[in-house]
Amino acid sequence: MGRDFSTIGHALSVPTRSAMIDVLMDGTARPAGELAAVARVSAATASEHLAILVAAGLLRGKRAGRQRLYSILDQRTAEALESLGQLCVEVPISSLVQSRTKHDLADARMCYDHVAGRLGVELFDASVRLRWFDSEAHLTARGERALSELGVAVPAARAQRRPLTRTCPDWTQRRPHLAGALGAALTAQLLERRWITRRSTGRGLIITADGLNAIQRTWGIDLTAD
């Protein structure tokens, strides 16, 4: 039997719902009111759109006190949406803020719970060159030692039910970055060490000065070069 894409297609067919999906791709859970503001619609309209996204299996809603928080259903769904982004047209840029945001997202961003953008792609490419992973993203013994020395919880990642490693097609770089339980664990360590920090809004990431030096020292990547 074939697959019926119509339900997903309908759910993603409205720019308002696309905007909500995009802001939740950083792995956070947000209330309907915040998502309404992002999409520039009323609270009642936002609730209608969110109900469609939940019914399509793209989002989940969870009660938290008096609020209901919405998030991407799971990491598998987030990775599928990131891959789908390669087929989508870009939102037209009509302001300096939008241009800056586009540049920031292409440089470094969260893709649900792991790093994407130029940073994610270059970290994966360098890790393959260092033989931490093979070309299909399988972790090597050398890679396990190196990541453990960085404080990445490899055994805990291996114990999860999700795949340990997998590649995720990057819609801005058109090359893969590292996903799976280990991609998430590495990202958590980068955040803990404050080599990267989250931007105040959206899913963009900032590479700190300490991070630039540490990443160059560890992976041999000069992220200041064009």
| pLDDT 10s digits, 4-26 | 888 899 999 999 998 899 889 88
Q: What is the mean pLDDT of residues 150-161?
A: 95
Where does the chain show beta strands of DSSP type E? 30-31, 59-64, 67-72, 109-111, 114-116, 166-169, 176-179, 196-198, 205-207
Least confident of 79-93, 115-129, 168-182: 79-93
Assess contact for 221 and 122: CB atoms under 8 A. Answer: yes
pLDDT at residue number 96: 57
pTM to 2 decimal places = 0.74
**pLDDT surpassing 60 at residue 1:** no
pLDDT at residue number 76: 85
List the structure tokens of 97: 């803020």
